[in-house]
Structure 1
Amino acid sequence: MAINKFMILVLLPIIFSSKSVVSISNFPLAKPHCREHCGNIPIPYPFGLTEECSLNKYFLITCKNTSRSHRLQAYLMNSIHISNISLDGQIRVLQEIAHDCYAPDGTSVSRKIPLISLPHHYNVNSTANMFTIVGCDNYGFVSGSSFLIDCIATCGTEDNFLEGARVEMGCCQRPIPIETSSLEVRLYTSDNYTKVNHSSKCGYAFVVEDSAFRFSPENLTSLRNVKKLPVVVDWGIMNDSCLEAQRNSNSYACKSSNSDCHYPSNGFGYRCLCKEGYEGNPYLPHGCQDIDECKDPSLHNCKGYCENKEGSYKCSCPKGNFTRDHSPDVCSLLDIL
């Protein structure tokens, strides 16, 4: 049995988890006098495009043109391609996928061995990503410091495929364990595709955002034209607990008076969120601003008048009405004889 292998090494000393995307368009994103965008990608503090505009070196973003694109693109540590940054504690990294392709006689014709290395304060999100192998003659593993997960992708006939499958008919997927700070992905082929009756002679392996990839039989050939796929990565501040961080007001990252410190569900350290009734950037001194719930009917349940309050709102009934059970969200006409 001929065995060929390649590796993807994903080293992610990382931290934290939460919602995927947060709306930050109506509030200050960056520190004063700092650029807020790289191309069309918002760069909210603690991230920044210069050392003076970022919290520290782990949040420094490089904005540059590449030889293949005329658009400005954002890179973490000058090499990790970023497509989105969320103040809820996540970034999306565009990671190159690995492939291993063969000629009909079993000769290797193309192989890709991508490498990605991320800084401290980051973790692979354990619920938003899947380890995936696509192919007809492939098996492989994803491993970290304390786990090893296998996956096998084989093909019967081309009529046997199930779209969206998580089974081993052309595609195999496995979840990523919690608090994964490093990943090594290995891909093997059993017979160099010499015993596979399928037009595709390539295998692929990657970690990918689950919602961004749904298997289809066409992937066995179409993935040849795909260079990168998104991976959700959690980020956070330092390795301190909230109590430890709050002891030093100078280094404590939750600068807005309307923000709170939270522990992540994945990873270590802490992150900052605006208090209920506020939105914006909790890492800036005046970053969390009051939400006017009265302007959006979906944010309040008032049946009469809505009055915006700092961090909240108040309901009241029009003149000639009364509140039932002292509840201002239910107004009834007075029964006057």
Structure 2
Amino acid sequence: MQMIYFLLLVFLFFVLHPIAAASSPAHKPGCPGRCGNVTIPYPFGVGSGCSLGSSFNISCNTSTTPPKPYIYIGASYLYASLTDLSQSWKTTRVFPCSYAFIMVKGSQINSLYSYDYSILNQNSTAIIHYDHVVRLDWRLGDQNCSQTPRNSSFACQPNAQCVDFGANVGGYICKCSKGYQGNPYLNSSCRDIDECANSSLNPCVVNSKCINTYGSANCSCNKGYYGDGMKNGKGCTMLPPSNIAKFVVIGLASALGLLLLLLFCFWLHKVFEKKRNKNRKEKFFKHLASQQQTSEGAFGKTKLFTAKELEKATDHFNESRICGRGGQGIVHKGMLSDGTIVAIKRLKEVDENQVEQFINEVVILSQINHKNVVRLLGCCLATHTPQLVYEFLPNGTLFDFIHHPKIEFPLTWNMRLKIAADVAGALAYLHFASSIPIYHRDIKSTNILLDEKYIVKVSDFGISKLVQIDQTHLTTLVKGTFGYLDPEYYETSQYTEKSDVYSFGVALLELLTSQRPISLERPEVGRNLAAHFLSYMEANDLEAILDTQVSEEGAKEEVIAVARLARRCLNVKGKTRPTMKEVATELESLVISQIPEPEEATVTEAKHMMFSDIEYTWTTSDHTS
């Protein structure tokens, strides 16, 4: 069949509100918006990528003055010269044609878009040089809104709604939602209409305030008026003078009542807080009094600070003063009125168990006077949560010193040995020299602090226990820190002085290896440092697990002696472990016997200190205490 081409000049004069609005761009960004005097709104477009699809492509003939747009009508290869573009299905309109064209009725365009062309003479396939009437309608797809999937091919953009093309015809078109204007086919083109700024759209009456919202507007009556403020609603009516006074009185009375209620609640809160503090103090003093039966003068050594004193010392517990955080609370650095620098531990919201630990720590520390035990200066009970005041130790914890070493101040072998000896001496004091024996129950590197001269101080006595001289063990709920916990205590719930020995043995391993007690970075069988270390001892490969600084600086006899002592402390059976007094004695003797390395010693001569030259003999029996 021979292809026939015709020109169709269609004169259209539509208001383009279904597609575009004056305040929003009707064409696709980066594409021509006009052809001559004709606006080209999207989904139509001039040029590649400027329309919704090939069926909406517009050809702009610039050889005429002014330029004229032409549209390609698919199946019949029909071009039409257009003076404007829009949809006509909403209002049925017809337009005269001055050129002949091939009539195509209901043709499907690329399976998505349909065009319907009607002509006066339905029997003609080609009509030349006669005036006829044409109607240009277009739609999207062949399914209505309820059938069209909401995927990437769905043409309606945000703030636009889908409208069925017709009751008996498939397809849909898009239009901006109520309260929005723009091109519903362009992304972010449908924009909110400011009804308040447009007198014809403003829904509010006089004597009201218009507040624009997305897609709408709200109205509120001015002071002295009542109603909804809407033109199509109740509007705004002036209040009678008596009603105004009535509402003013009601408002003032309500405000006064609310103020009195708040004041009453505040007073009630203060009363309960005062009573709670009083009960806490009474409980503390009662518990403390019971302890004085076995510890004369314990209370006299504990100073009670006021809340104002500690707030002033810490600048109202300023976050910049925080120097530590723990499971029980936050530690602030402060300065008392006499210039003493202190550490103030502010407990979190406390339950009964935490109060007991707080009292326990005060009672125990008030009885201890040892250079290697942190000194409790006092406490405060006049606050919602109790607060403890300690001497300030500026160099943090042994844990940080080992596992986050400072390049400018490394932890030398001599320092490690001295730290171990001092901690052992403090524990030996607690077990044997204190007026009442004390089991610490939570020895670990984070509870060993360092002062300005790097002298160690054992801290955190919250779960420590006072024991009678003839008492061999405590039966308690298992408490402590995994990695340091005595396996025998874990199985039997019986805590003995040898349980502290086991925990100290783990801390000793940290000093030797600089490794953490529990580490997921090690193989599963070696995640526990105690088991990991003992496996190297059994394999005669001690050097492989030691910290480089220990193996390079320490005399081999000293390091091996400390390693063997650590192994004895880690014996599974508590009875085969040494006492803390024996441990302290051995370590102190090593500290005393240290001989400084001669200044003239060369690197070659110092090789006798390297473990690569040592023949290991770990099978010798030294398991007894």
TM-score for both structures, normalised by structure 2: 0.30
How many Å separate the matches in 2 of 1:236 and 1:29? 18
Confirm or deny: 8 A CA contact 2:88 2:135 kept in the other structure: no
How many Å separate the matches in 2 of 1:21 and 1:333? 43
1:275 to 172, 177, 201: 177
Confirm or deny: 8 A CA contact 2:70 2:79 kept in the other structure: yes
Matched, 1:123 2:116: yes
Secondary structure in 1 matching 2:45: coil
Q: Spell out the pairing of 1:25-104 with structure 2 (5 A cutoff).
A: 25-66=22-63, 69-77=64-72, 79-86=79-86, 96-97=97-98
1:331 to 232, 236, 252: 236
How many Å separate the matches in 1 of 2:81 and 2:96? 7
Q: Please list every run of 5 or more consecutive structure 1 residues that lacks an aligned counterpart in the other structure.
A: 1-8, 12-18, 99-113, 132-141, 145-182, 188-202, 208-230
How many Å separate the matches in 2 of 1:276 and 1:97? 39
Change (3 A) 1:312 1:300: same
Change (3 A) 1:268 1:97: farther
How many Å separate the matches in 2 of 1:332 and 1:85? 48
CA radius of gyration, larger in: 2
Secondary structure in 2 matching 1:80: strand
Q: Deviations over 1:129-179 (max 9, x none)?
A: x84xxxxxxxxxx327xxxxxxxxxxxxxxxxxxxxxxxxxxxxxxxxxxx
Select the structure that is richer in helix: 2
One-letter code aligned to 1:143: Q
How many Å separate the matches in 2 of 1:260 and 1:324? 28
Confirm or deny: 8 A CA contact 2:68 2:81 kept in the other structure: yes
Partner of residue 225, structure 1 = none
**What is the number of residues matched between the two proteins?**
213
Change (3 A) 1:115 1:82: same
How many Å separate the matches in 1 of 2:39 and 2:234? 38
Q: Deviations over 1:278-318 (max 9, x none)?
A: 11111111011111111222223311221111000111111
2:199 to 285, 291, 297: 297
Q: Spell out the pairing of 1:157-236 with structure 2 (5 A cutoff).
A: 205-207=131-133, 231-236=134-139
Change (3 A) 1:246 1:310: same
Confirm or deny: 8 A CA contact 2:71 2:80 kept in the other structure: yes
Change (3 A) 1:329 1:285: farther
Q: How far off its partner does 1:242 sit?
A: 2.2
Partner of residue 140, structure 2 = 237
Q: Please list every run of 5 or more consecutive structure 2 residues that lacks an aligned counterpart in the other structure.
A: 1-5, 9-13, 73-77, 243-625
Q: Deviations over 1:88-125 (max 9, x none)?
A: 76899976437xxxxxxxxxxxxxxx124667321247
2:225 to 310, 321, 327: 321
Confirm or deny: 8 A CA contact 1:47 1:59 kept in the other structure: yes
Change (3 A) 1:48 1:284: same
Confirm or deny: 8 A CA contact 1:316 1:328 kept in the other structure: no
1:261 to 151, 162, 166: 162
One-letter code aligned to 2:61: K
Secondary structure in 2 matching 1:284: coil
Percent of counterpart pairs with the same letter? Answer: 32
Q: How far off its partner does 1:253 sit?
A: 0.9
Q: How far off its partner does 1:319 sit?
A: 1.3
Confirm or deny: 8 A CA contact 1:20 1:88 kept in the other structure: no
How many Å separate the matches in 2 of 1:89 and 1:39? 25
1:252 to 154, 175, 180: 154
How many Å separate the matches in 1 of 2:67 and 2:228? 58
Change (3 A) 1:293 1:258: same
TM-score for both structures, normalised by structure 1: 0.54
Q: How far off its partner does 1:204 sit?
A: 5.5
Change (3 A) 1:316 1:330: same
Partner of residue 500, structure 2 = none
Partner of residue 268, structure 2 = none
Secondary structure in 2 matching 1:240: coil
- Aligned-pair Cα RMSD in Å: 3.7
Secondary structure in 1 matching 2:52: coil
Q: How far off its partner does 1:186 sit?
A: 7.2
One-letter code aligned to 1:261: C
Q: How far off its partner does 1:330 sit?
A: 1.2
Change (3 A) 1:94 1:258: same
Confirm or deny: 8 A CA contact 1:10 1:117 kept in the other structure: no
